[in-house]
A and B are shown apart, each in its own frame.
Chain A
Amino acid sequence: MAMEMRLPAARKPLSEVLARDTKKHLVVPGDTITTDTGFMRGHGTYMGEEKLIASVAGSVERVNKLICVWSFLLSSRYNGEVGDIVVGRITEVQQKRWKVDTNSRLDSVLLLSSMNLPGGELRRRSAEDELAMRGFLQEGDLISAEVQAVFSDGAVSLHTRSLKYGKLGQGVLVQVSPSLVKRQKTHFHDLPCGASVILGNNGFVWIYPTPEHKDEDAGGFIPDLEPVSLTDREVISRLRNCVVSLVTQRMMLYDTSILYCYEASLPHQIKDILKPEVMEEIVLETRQRLLEQEG
């Protein structure tokens, strides 16, 4: 069995690689932004003794009379917006709803009435449906859903009112920072390389084998447990490593960037993609191809 070992080496800061600079007004908590009381205070600021003080580390953004501090470090938790697609994991089964972990500040809520019944029937949920909740979704299941509403404290309410949402079957989950997922018209992609991917806005990326036929009756409840072929598994592993390398180099994730990265990684073995120098090379090629395509 071949093993690879390497000595620790100092990481090159990515800003050198990208060779860019910023001319923004950076603040840290405790810094006074302004003593002018005419401004409205936005996120990242608080009022202290007639001065506007920053509460997070970031850059000051001013829009007319509103001052807020945009934190570059606040990328780890998801803030829900209506209409977003999310992938989440069930953490609890409560009386008429499920609690879903979507990497946000509070667990999201999936009401029983927001869930599609098998067969797509439309009826009022009865007491039997309540007792059968665990039969639909249990703790630990993964689902794809859409954000229906956002509560005042930031908690998000989900719904699976379409046949394309529902319980997820076999596949690979990659957790990334929510700020790296690009907002697009659709987040469900069938890649030409032979796998499908769901780019959740909350940073959960689900890679799964493309289903041969869409099973309309199941309504997203019965997961496909057929064994996945080796070629499909290899494609999925390669895609997963590509997503991880894009994220490490802080590139935005969308179907084109993942596809280009996949094609750039074909000359290498799947396990070699995670090596730092191979990662840099692949992502550089992806970046160049994307620039060519745009320009």
Chain B
Amino acid sequence: MAGLELLSDQGYRVDGRRAGELRKIQARMGVFAQADGSAYIEQGNTKALAVVYGPHEIRGSRSRALPDRALVNCQYSSATFSTGERKRRPHGDRKSCEMGLQLRQTFEAAILTQLHPRSQIDIYVQVLQADGGTYAACVNAATLAVLDAGIPMRDFVCACSAGFVDGTALADLSHVEEAAGGPQLALALLPASGQIALLEMDARLHEDHLEWVLEAAAQAARDVHTLLDRVVRQHVHEASILLGD
């Protein structure tokens, strides 16, 4: 769309946010009683649901069992009504597989898999409404779900996307900003140690700008961590009252 400026002269974005401001995040843990762990997150208009089963015995091929650690199996699925146009997405298509692989790499870095040899942890993520930052919402929802299942993790995994427009780094891109075609970076961070679990970008960005974009994404991820931390503490507090005695 010609004439749609992503960053106005006063420093406001299309939806009225500042450059480094995140969208409103609301999250809930323990949404499904049947699953071992589940969580729902809303980041602005992006809505994602994550469900975790495990650790349990490896179903299917026993040969995939790892003798010293647990197998992490992630599946990503996007609802047909999640985008502006209704689109049927078959299960094994390229985007789902790639997202599943990225989620798996992210969580293998964070979950302490050595504690559960020969077992399998399943993480299923479904995007109900996609308005930009779907990878980040999936990772954040999956972190909460894994915590809800009581699976030991090194740290939270907090993710956020970032872009670069007119010499300024923007954090937490919405669909409009992503569709504009500029560079976008997705970062998944372990906040306490500052270690990066996954960093992904497939656009062209000048190397001088990389540092600024990376710093914007990292700061946004730390802000997400503050929010998720509060949600988890509230949930644990509730659980401790019910079971504490």
A residues at B contact (CB < 8 Å): 13-15, 18, 20-22, 24, 26, 28-32, 44, 46, 48, 53, 55-59, 71-77, 91, 99, 101, 105-107, 153-154, 179, 250
* Cβ A15 vs Cβ B242 within 8 A: yes
Question: A residues within 8 A CB of B235?
Answer: 57, 73
Contact residue among A24, A55, A99, A105 (Cβ-Cβ distance under 8 Å from B152):
A55
Interface of A is mostly: loop
* Cβ B243 vs Cβ A29 within 8 A: no
Most buried by A among B118, B233, B236, B238: B236
Question: A residues within 8 A CB of B241?
Answer: 14-15, 18, 20-22
* Cβ B149 vs Cβ A101 within 8 A: no
Interface of B is mostly: mixed
Task: Give the distance in Å from the alpha carbon of A71 to the alpha carbon of B240 in the complex.
Answer: 9
* Cβ A72 vs Cβ B156 within 8 A: no
- A56-B152, A58-B236, A101-B57 known; A24 vs B37 contact (CB < 8 Å): no
* Cβ B118 vs Cβ A73 within 8 A: no
Question: B residues within 8 A CB of A13?
Answer: 238
* Cβ A56 vs Cβ B118 within 8 A: no
* Cβ B153 vs Cβ A29 within 8 A: yes
- A28-B233, A30-B192, A55-B112 known; A71 vs B56 contact (CB < 8 Å): no
- A75-B243, A101-B57, A105-B116 known; A55 vs B150 contact (CB < 8 Å): no
With A22-B237, A29-B155, A58-B236 given, can you name 14 additional A-B contacts, CB distance below 8 Å? A24-B240, A30-B155, A30-B192, A53-B154, A56-B153, A57-B150, A57-B233, A71-B150, A72-B242, A73-B239, A77-B56, A99-B57, A106-B118, A153-B117
- Give the distance to chain B from A18, nearest Cβ to Cβ, in Å: 6
Most buried by A among B240, B243, B244: B240
Contact residue among B116, B149, B154, B156 (Cβ-Cβ distance under 8 Å from A73):
B149
* Cβ A29 vs Cβ B237 within 8 A: no
Question: A residues within 8 A CB of B56?
Answer: 77, 105-106
Task: Give the distance in Å from the alpha carbon of A154 to the alpha carbon of B229 in the complex.
Answer: 31
- Give the distance to chain B from A151, nearest Cβ to Cβ, in Å: 11
- A15-B238, A22-B241, A101-B57 known; A75 vs B119 contact (CB < 8 Å): no
Question: B residues within 8 A CB of A29?
Answer: 147, 152-156
Question: B residues within 8 A CB of A48?
Answer: 154, 193
Task: Give the distance in Å from the alpha carbon of A29 to the alpha carbon of B149 in the complex.
Answer: 13
* Cβ A46 vs Cβ B147 within 8 A: no
Contact residue among A32, A46, A76 (Cβ-Cβ distance under 8 Å from B149):
A76
Task: Give the distance in Å from the alpha carbon of A15 to the alpha carbon of B191 in the complex.
Answer: 30
* Cβ B153 vs Cβ A55 within 8 A: yes
- Give the distance to chain A from B64, nearest Cβ to Cβ, in Å: 15
Task: Give the distance in Å from the alpha carbon of A91 to the alpha carbon of B62 in the complex.
Answer: 14
Task: Give the distance in Å from the alpha carbon of A179 to the alpha carbon of B243 in the complex.
Answer: 9
Instruction: Judge whether B139 is part of the interface by a CB distance below 8 angstroms.
Output: no
Question: A residues within 8 A CB of B156?
Answer: 28-30
* Cβ A105 vs Cβ B236 within 8 A: no
* Cβ A57 vs Cβ B236 within 8 A: yes
List the A residue with the shortest CB-CB distance to B191.
A30
List the A residue with the shortest CB-CB distance to B35.
A76
Query: Closest 10 A-B residue pairs measured CB to CB?
Result: A74-B150, A30-B155, A55-B152, A30-B192, A72-B239, A15-B241, A107-B57, A73-B150, A76-B36, A105-B55
Task: Give the distance in Å from the alpha carbon of A77 to the alpha carbon of B115 in the complex.
Answer: 14
- A75-B243, A106-B118 known; A55 vs B154 contact (CB < 8 Å): yes
Instruction: Judge whether B148 is part of the interface by a CB distance below 8 angstroms.
Output: yes
- Give the distance to chain B from A94, nearest Cβ to Cβ, in Å: 11
Question: A residues within 8 A CB of B151?
Answer: 56
Residues 219 to 245 of chain B near chain A (Cβ within 8 Å): 229, 232-233, 235-245
* Cβ B242 vs Cβ A30 within 8 A: no
- Give the distance to chain B from A30, nearest Cβ to Cβ, in Å: 4
Query: Can you list 26 pairs linking A and B with CB atoms under 8 Å apart?
Result: A15-B242, A20-B241, A20-B245, A28-B147, A28-B156, A29-B155, A30-B192, A46-B112, A55-B152, A55-B153, A56-B150, A56-B153, A57-B232, A57-B233, A57-B235, A59-B240, A73-B149, A73-B235, A73-B236, A75-B150, A99-B57, A105-B56, A105-B57, A153-B117, A153-B118, A179-B243
Most buried by B among A26, A31, A91, A101: A26
Question: B residues within 8 A CB of A20?
Answer: 241, 244-245
Question: A residues within 8 A CB of B155?
Answer: 29-30, 53
